[in-house]
Structure 1
Amino acid sequence: MIMCFDKRIDMMSWKDKEYNTPLHFACESGNCEIVKLLLLNNADPLACRMHDVTPLHIAAKEGFIDIASVLLQNDASEIDIADANLLSPIHYAAQFGKVKMIEFLLHKGADIECQDTDSYTPLLTSAAYGQLQAMKALINAKASTDDVDRNGKSLVFITAEEDQVQILEALVLGVYEKWGSELVNTPDAIHNTPLHIAAKKGHINSLKILLKASHLKVDARNEAERTPLHLAAVAGHANVINELLHYAEENDKDILKDEDDDGNTALHLACINEKFQAAKALILAGADPEDRNARQWTPMDCAAESGRVQIVQLLIDAEAQVDPRDINNATPLHVACKAGHIKVVNVLLENGAKVSICDSKGFNALDVAIENGQKDVAMAIVTSNQWMSALRNVTYFDQSTNSAVGGGAMGGATFTTPMRRIIRKMPDVAEVVFNRCCQTNEDAVSSIDHPDYKINFIYEFLEDFRVDSGYSRRFTRTRTARRRSVPIEEVASSAGDFDEDTEGGGGGGRAIGDDNEGNVGYQTTWGPVGYSRQDHCLQILANSKSVELLKHPLAANLLHYKWFKYGQMLYFSNLFIYLLFVIFLTSFALASLSPNSNTCQIVLSNANSSSLSCTAETSRASQYFVPVGAAFVILFAIIKLLFEFIQFLKYRIQYLLDWVNYLELLLFVFAILFAFIYTEDCYCPHKWQWELGAIAVFLSWIDLVIFVSKLPITGIYVVMFMNIFYIFLKLVFLAILLVLAFAFSFNMLFNDPISEAMGIRTPFMNSWRSIVKTMTMTTGEFEFDSTFRQTGSQSEAGSDDIQFPFASYVLWILFLILMPILFINLLVGLAVDDIKGMQESAGTNRLALRVELTLTVEEYLPLWLRKNFIVGRDTIYPNRKLGFIKHLLYNVLGVFRFDSAENIKNALNAPPAPIEEVQQQNQALARRVDDLCSSVETLSEQNERLLAVVSALAESQGVASNVSGIPPSSPAHSLKPAPGSTSRGRSPSALSEKTTTSFI
């Protein structure tokens, strides 16, 4: 029997996974007899399940007074017992509208002012959950109506926040109006009034009730100085905005111009938060689209930043300015470009927004897009009809701070242009600009093979240096059968030629005509007169990832033009002079006597040479040539050294980074030391001079190889050779390690002391000779017989040819495998694999070298001469026949090369590379996603309008309905929903989550 009793006691304490005991289930089922039986068998009335919910909490929630009475008879002190969220049984009864339970608990001494973790009293709880009868019972029981929660929310505030229309009406307009109307303007902790929260949540019915209250402050402000209209605009509740404005109009209050602490009006806030319907309602009500906030932003600026194109169009339709300036002189176009809203940019451009306007830093819209990496926006601008205005801008930078400065040039400042930025950062956009700078008359001729087919190249944006600040004359163009050119000062937009409203860039086919006088006015103002090769667009192109654009017809023809005008003349002149230097240096070296000759040994030994004949070992002509050749070599080398010094003063760091400069310095210094031979007889050099001379002759020919790399035909192979050399340099460390490994081993194995004692010099007699011999053997020169037959070893009968045969043969075979076979074939394989790539890139590299040469020459030209060579545009007729001389230059030397019309057209309309095609597809997909998001937002707004109509219809029929279309329900997870209950404003469904999740 005792065992059965103990077992019965254990059963009373059994719990499921949610810690429910049998007593919890009995209270939930409402069976009072079972509850009594369980208590009789020592069930714990204070047992807690999840969230510390006791059986009394459950009885209060379900309204089982008899069960609550039984539980309290067992322990009356638990009447105010709290769960994990400090909710007492009376809170549960208030939440679920159990009026009789509330009265019972109060009769038993429950605390009517007890508070939960959010400082909610039972009265506040009943109001939040729409329990009107429970609220009346609590008020009749003298519950305090002035209580607030921990956020300072009053009874009316909470009711408005939860949209409990019946309770709010009773408090403001009904039986409790006397004291309830006084709470209408009572703010919470952040100074929001009940009207604020109703406007913010879009509770139109609650808002209408509040608007009927006496002494309502429709323009009350919270701590951010925002009125209810501001919050409605932020949330996008157009119906609330209309109600507020209607009330304000009836009460002679102007709330449209009210500003928050940032100076934003309601229209500003609607635009910032992308609320189209709210913005539309405000504009229809008379909101001024030109109002400015603290940043001097208009609603147009706000809409441009948010990226809602419908709002931008709405403001434009309301005749808002498209180019208002803020405190930084920026326009909405600047703002949209910075944020990357391409649709807004397109709408602004279509409606007359000016790309040429600059902010306080000197940035126009294109500059802003480039600096912020907005490639699509930059592409939209350069494909618009204002592309030329966008590119005509100069931005100054303070070199000491590396930051943009406004107001023009200043001390220590340099300038840049949009074209330079595009080349550095956006090669795809640069290509589009290049295409637009190549305009054809394809529509005016029958075919591209027609002799009158022409291509106008606009070089204005590549030649962005102002060569003469005061140059502004009129100019009559001269033409040749092949081309015509116009100086940069006269290239701006003329009446007929390069109108920036034309859409025909590249092969677009727009006919380009001439004005009546054939004249062009100067309009473009570029940077200061100072010229720098490193800042020229072609040089930037050559040094950037966009180097392939040097092959573009625009860049290629500009480079060819410069090359033809002065580059090739100076290049070939310099090449000819340098070739003379190489010839004189080589001839001087060959004509000079070697220091090991008999004559020079006598001369250098200071012996008596009075009867010495210098022609014994060389011809008399050679002896006559030596002083002349030495003088020429020394003079040329000194001039070149002076030139190198001038280059160093001009370029400093850039000069030190070019290895060719070091090669030339060594060449000219060694040449001077070699040619400066002074002896009394026969011009005999010392041994150190002879060695320096040999190195100088070698370097002179190597420098000549580098010199001819700029030639059209042979230059590409020189560049390929240099690329292969760079590949070898990547492997040189591995080669050194392998050579040293075998060289030192061979020195130990093949160094024969007996042969050395006999005076026989062997390849491996010391470490240095071993290294050189090993390097030679790598090329295939093994000399196996001489290496493995050591003379000293053969002196002993019966001895082996080598001293250490086993190790020698093993390392020799290993050397044969690793060096001549594997390593050499590795070099060959790498070179062969890269041949195709090198062939494709060698042409570009050669053009880059030519750019450097041409611009260096241009940099040293005097200003008066340079401005005659710098052109703003050029026109060519690719189908007209060349003269004999030009045809020879074109086909043989390639120095006056212009592609055919077909090649140029193909280049301008080249299909995108695979990676570019993928990027274009991704961009198209991104645009489709944006369109879909915009459609969803539009649909949401339409639903909101539809719900507003339904609400208005319901109101006209006298039916109280929730505008959301969702019938009122009790908090989530409740077993028996209480009519009209919803979640609290402190956190949606917070109370129900805290109290009822364990009831399942």
Structure 2
Amino acid sequence: MQKLEEKGGFYLPEMNWLSRCLSVSHQNQKKILMHPVVQVFLLLKWKKISALLWLSILYHIIWLMLYTYFNVDVYLIHCPFRFHKDNRTTSHDNTNQELIASCDVRNHYTHLSALLWLLYTITVSIVFKEIYEISTSNNVTQYFLKLENIGQWILAGIVFLTSVPVFQVDNSYEVQIYDWQYQASSFGILLACFLILNQIGKIPSFGRYVLILATVIRSFSMFMVTFASILIAFMLSFHILMPEKDEFSDFPWNFVKILVMMTGEINHDDVFHSKLGNLQLPFPISTKLLFAIFVALVTIVLFNLLIGLTVSDIQGLQTGARLSSLSVQVEEMHLMEAFLLSDRVQRLLKALGKHGLLQYFLVNGLDFENGKMKMDVDVRIDEIPKHLHDDIRRLSKNFYSETDDNEYDECDGGTEESEDEINLKDFSISCIQNAIKLNNKLNVVLDKH
């Protein structure tokens, strides 16, 4: 089934409609993406387009690792920061004092210069890619709500800010670095490593682990927001009772000390039995009582509750990660296909006489019939993963059962359905009909053996 647009003879994208499933309710999204026929289609689509996705992932990882290497080379090896009085120099407005470090890179300038221009080239290409995504996005707001996109824009800015010292080297080959550039470099490396982890999460075999981590982080964030008032209360109470203790008097950064104590790092002896303990504890009885309450309520109860809430349901986390992994897979394949089958690319390939190459990236498993999307995956049995065989047989067997007929009615609770929800019903029925065809193929294979 070769799908060509009636006007212009362009190939039609296959992932547009499945990408729309990402915006429907979680229950119906699960019914579609976890459907065995849809999983077969996604598996075939991944085989078709995975090479390009791997190149994209590898390109981003090279960019991030190259930036990390540049920072280590400049800010850690050749120009490490050393704090001493001579580092202080007057800024341009002669009103503020700013830390600055100087180092001679004469022997390494060729290496650093080549590394810098390579980093600039890749960064500019990444920026143009993001601009293209914005220009082709149907929802620009949704684009900027993705942490990955925000992170890439921030890192692109940090790349130029932290590379300025090497870029501005004159004939003296002396690099001058301000203190804020060291700080930007450290956070840039951290951001780059998180973005590398995000790229690894796009690989199906590793994606679920990254998504489980993301789920746990969200649970932790909600937990901390919920019980932040208790931690803030202890932070202020310790600050009032122990104003001479450095670890509790540095408001509001003593909140970090509270978080460390929450994990069990109390340092009880340092607080109550140090040489200056009596001088630094003006209210010893109240302080000890407050410590006892903190240990019981925060260190024992809240911390164990946090662990229980975030990692207790491992099976549920794995199931949710599987669905999230499929969602990421659909989104990434949709973006790549949108680029490959864009009008500009297809016109260019037509002009070069290579337009037929695009058919390689099509599974030809989705089609329109009477204005409705239908699934019609025609595959060999050996291409269907064995763990999906039982699901296909079950769907085929129960196709006419009352449970399947009312499946969506039960989850919708009788509410009025949107157009997308109605289309999902039609699509689901089409998937089940396709499951019957695949089941018949399975039966033929079994009969032969």
Deviations 1:173-222 (A, max 9, x none): xxxxxxxxxxxxxxxxxxxxxxxxxxxxxxxxxxxxxxxxxxxxxxxxxx
Question: What residue is the counterpart of 2:394 in the other structure?
Answer: 909
Letter in 1 for 2:116: A
Matches within 5 A, 1:208-287: none
Select which of 598, 601, 614 maps to 2:104.
Answer: 614
Q: Is contact 2:40–2:384 with CA below 8 Å preserved after alignment?
A: yes
Letter in 2 for 1:667: L
Question: What residue is the counterpart of 1:802 in the other structure?
Answer: 281
Post-superposition shift, 1:852?
Answer: 0.4
Higher helix share: 2
Q: Is contact 1:532–1:859 with CA below 8 Å preserved after alignment?
A: no
Question: What residue is the counterpart of 2:258 in the other structure?
Answer: 774
Question: What residue is the counterpart of 2:296 in the other structure?
Answer: 817
Question: What residue is the counterpart of 2:441 in the other structure?
Answer: none
Post-superposition shift, 1:857?
Answer: 0.4
Question: What residue is the counterpart of 1:649 in the other structure?
Answer: 135
Question: What residue is the counterpart of 2:154 in the other structure?
Answer: 666
Post-superposition shift, 1:636?
Answer: 2.1
Select which of 858, 869, 878 maps to 2:381.
Answer: 878
Matches within 5 A, 1:450-469: 467-469=5-7
634 and 532 in structure 1: CA distance in 2 versus 1, 3 angstrom threshold: farther
638 and 735 in structure 1: CA distance in 2 versus 1, 3 angstrom threshold: farther
Select which of 42, 45, 63 maps to 1:559.
Answer: 42
Deviations 1:927-973 (A, max 9, x none): xxxxxxxxxxxxxxxxxxxxxxxxxxxxxxxxxxxxxxxxxxxxxxx
Q: Identity over aligned residues, as a percent?
A: 19
718 and 613 in structure 1: CA distance in 2 versus 1, 3 angstrom threshold: closer
| Separation in 2, partners of 1:789, 1:905 | 67
| Separation in 2, partners of 1:554, 1:600 | 67
Question: Structure 2, unaligned stretches of length 5 or more?
Answer: 91-101, 347-354, 366-376, 411-449
565 and 601 in structure 1: CA distance in 2 versus 1, 3 angstrom threshold: farther
Post-superposition shift, 1:565?
Answer: 1.7
| Separation in 1, partners of 2:405, 2:333 | 37
Select which of 54, 70, 73 maps to 1:588.
Answer: 70
Question: What residue is the counterpart of 2:415 in the other structure?
Answer: none
Q: Is contact 2:216–2:311 with CA below 8 Å preserved after alignment?
A: no
Q: Is contact 2:75–2:185 with CA below 8 Å preserved after alignment?
A: no
Question: What residue is the counterpart of 1:569 in the other structure?
Answer: 51
Matches within 5 A, 1:88-487: 467-469=5-7, 471=9
Q: Is contact 2:44–2:363 with CA below 8 Å preserved after alignment?
A: no
Question: Structure 1, unaligned stretches of length 5 or more?
Answer: 1-457, 472-487, 490-528, 607-611, 756-761, 794-798, 880-896, 924-1000
Greater relative contact order, per chain length (Cα 8 Å cut-off, separation 6+): 2
| Separation in 1, partners of 2:83, 2:250 | 33
Post-superposition shift, 1:698?
Answer: 0.6
Deviations 1:268-327 (A, max 9, x none): xxxxxxxxxxxxxxxxxxxxxxxxxxxxxxxxxxxxxxxxxxxxxxxxxxxxxxxxxxxx
772 and 550 in structure 1: CA distance in 2 versus 1, 3 angstrom threshold: same
| 1:546 lines up with 2:25 in the alignment | no
Q: Is contact 1:585–1:629 with CA below 8 Å preserved after alignment?
A: no
570 and 918 in structure 1: CA distance in 2 versus 1, 3 angstrom threshold: closer
Post-superposition shift, 1:578?
Answer: 1.9
Report SS of the residue matched to 1:710.
coil
| 1:787 lines up with 2:271 in the alignment | yes
645 and 833 in structure 1: CA distance in 2 versus 1, 3 angstrom threshold: same
| Separation in 2, partners of 1:579, 1:778 | 36
| 1:629 lines up with 2:115 in the alignment | yes
Deviations 1:837-859 (A, max 9, x none): 12112112101101100110000
Deviations 1:751-785 (A, max 9, x none): 21xx7xxxxxx212321232121122112222222
Letter in 2 for 1:690: Y
Post-superposition shift, 1:466?
Answer: 5.1
Post-superposition shift, 1:705?
Answer: 1.0
Letter in 1 for 2:161: L
Q: Is contact 2:22–2:327 with CA below 8 Å preserved after alignment?
A: yes
598 and 655 in structure 1: CA distance in 2 versus 1, 3 angstrom threshold: closer
Post-superposition shift, 1:808?
Answer: 0.7
Report SS of the residue matched to 1:767.
coil
Q: Is contact 2:36–2:388 with CA below 8 Å preserved after alignment?
A: no
TM-score normalised per structure 2: 0.70
TM-score normalised per structure 1: 0.33
Post-superposition shift, 1:532?
Answer: 9.6
764 and 866 in structure 1: CA distance in 2 versus 1, 3 angstrom threshold: same
Question: What residue is the counterpart of 1:850 in the other structure?
Answer: 329
Question: What residue is the counterpart of 1:422 in the other structure?
Answer: none
Letter in 1 for 2:212: M
Question: What residue is the counterpart of 2:413 in the other structure?
Answer: none
Q: Is contact 2:204–2:329 with CA below 8 Å preserved after alignment?
A: no
| 1:839 lines up with 2:307 in the alignment | no
720 and 750 in structure 1: CA distance in 2 versus 1, 3 angstrom threshold: same
| Separation in 1, partners of 2:184, 2:103 | 26
Deviations 1:597-622 (A, max 9, x none): 3599868849xxxxx9737xxx955x
Post-superposition shift, 1:868?
Answer: 5.0
Letter in 2 for 1:824: F
Q: Is contact 1:739–1:774 with CA below 8 Å preserved after alignment?
A: yes
696 and 858 in structure 1: CA distance in 2 versus 1, 3 angstrom threshold: same
What is the root-mean-square deviation of aligned Cα atoms in Å? 3.6
